[in-house]
Amino acid sequence: MTRRVVITGSCGGLGRAFVRKFQAEGWRVIGIDRRKPESSHMPDEFIHADIGQDGEVARAFEIIRNGGRLDAIVNNAAVQLNKPIAETTDDEWSTVINTNVRSAFQTIRESTELLAESRGAVVNISSVHAIATSVNVAVYAISKGALAALTRSAAVELAAAGVRCNAVLPGAVDTAMLRDGLDRRPHVDGVDGNFADLVAGTPLGFVATPDQIAPSVFHLADSEQSPYTTGQMLIVDGGVTARLGSE
């Protein structure tokens, strides 16, 4: 029996790593992204969709239901906005919230029956910004906090159907999104200087690659590995949030 997973944002740095991990474990991967995948990072099935837009999640799941069973969803699609609150427009707010939160709510809603049949799982990719944040990322942090709340709510509501829902909260991960954010922060040595500061501030002494986050996501998605885990927030940040900020 081949298990099947939907991964949103499958063409990003984290998304590609998740695709690789699930495929390596023998799962069939359905990727969803507004970008098209590179030939070297192909999911087994691909749906081209911007799930931050109205109706796109429902359209994607019309296709997914035709493929049969579904064992897990990884809600990974996200956009980040680096702007002060005072300069953030309503349209920018809507883009971030619709992509990062509304789409996850919709995928859970659309997949409930399929996941109940397989006693499957949802893994939401939140962020350490849900619990501790920085300046000029308010809307992003809000969206990730809402995703954590959605995780708890869905876990409690769907437990009776045997569906588990958990979240992974990565810290800094070396992706294009991270590098773009670092490029917007002033530093005498530019992006490299900001990146070096991140490394210095991480107790484990390095910034994770996407492939180092993927095993945590797979663990929570696989009901054989984590059958009794639901409603939990797994922080994967190299120890950053464990350290006192006053030190």
Q: pLDDT truncated to tens, each residue of the chain (247 aa)?
A: 899 999 999 999 999 999 999 999 999 999 999 999 887 779 999 999 999 999 999 999 999 999 889 999 999 999 999 999 999 999 999 999 999 999 999 999 999 999 999 999 999 999 999 999 999 999 999 999 999 999 999 999 999 999 999 999 999 998 877 766 665 666 766 677 787 888 888 999 999 999 999 999 999 999 999 999 999 999 999 999 999 877 7
In a domain, 120, yes or no: yes
pLDDT number for residue 189: 61
Number of domains in the chain: 1
In a domain, 123, yes or no: yes
In a domain, 203, yes or no: no
DSSP, collapsed to helix, strand or coil, labels residue 79 as coil
In a domain, 193, yes or no: no
Q: What is the pTM of this model?
A: 0.94
In a domain, 177, yes or no: no
> Measured between alpha carbons, how far is 189 from 20 in angstroms, rounded to an integer?
34
CB crowding 208-230: b at 16 or more within 10 Å, else e = bebebbbebbbebbbbeebeebb
In a domain, 185, yes or no: no
Show the domain range for 103. 4-172+210-242
The CATH number of whichever domain residue 106 belongs to comes to 3.40.50.720
In a domain, 199, yes or no: no
> Measured between alpha carbons, how far is 74 from 6 in angstroms, rounded to an integer?
6
pLDDT number for residue 176: 75
In a domain, 188, yes or no: no
